[in-house]
């Protein structure tokens, strides 16, 4: 599957979760359920809380960042349950994409009355 096909599945899962559970839960709950659904229901490889190292002058610094979910080593998903998304959230996800060389990221804020208002697609040289 390519990035866009994975994105469709990820968003289908997110909309189903939001419809069933609604807003207001901890990010960790949404992360656990999305991991389960993508891994078990769709049989897609998902990594949780994957360390993203920072390279500084050819030195790999393992204390970089942790991504919420990396789907099939193609899409990074950052989950939020916040009052509003801040511009820093999108910048953070773009940095993750650049550090990993991945091309597509989804920022999903479940704390919205309409989930579509809490979704941001971030790209890094995706064609």
Q: Is 123 helix (H, G, I), strand (E, B) or coil?
A: strand
pTM of the model: 0.90
Each residue's pLDDT tens digit, 25-59 = 999 999 999 999 999 999 999 999 988 878 778 88
pLDDT tops 80 at residue 126: no
Q: Are 85 and 54 in contact (CB under 8 A)?
A: no
Percent share of the chain, pLDDT over 70: 97
CATH of domain 3-123: 3.40.1350
Radius of gyration of the chain (CA): 14
């Amino acid at each position: 599957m390519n990035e866009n096909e994975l994105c469709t599945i990820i968003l289908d899962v997110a909309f189903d979760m939001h419809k069933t559970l609604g807003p207001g839960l901890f990010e960790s709950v949404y992360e656990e359920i999305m991991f389960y659904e993508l891994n078990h229901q769709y049989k897609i490889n998902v990594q949780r809380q994957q360390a993203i190292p920072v390279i500084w002058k050819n030195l790999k610094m393992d204390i970089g960042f942790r991504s919420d979910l990396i789907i099939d080593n193609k899409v990074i998903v950052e989950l939020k349950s916040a009052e509003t998304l801040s511009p820093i959230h999108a910048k953070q996800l773009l940095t993750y994409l650049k550090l990993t060389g991945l091309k597509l990221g989804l920022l999903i804020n479940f704390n919205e009355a309409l989930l579509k208002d809490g979704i941001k697609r971030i790209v890094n040289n995706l064609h």
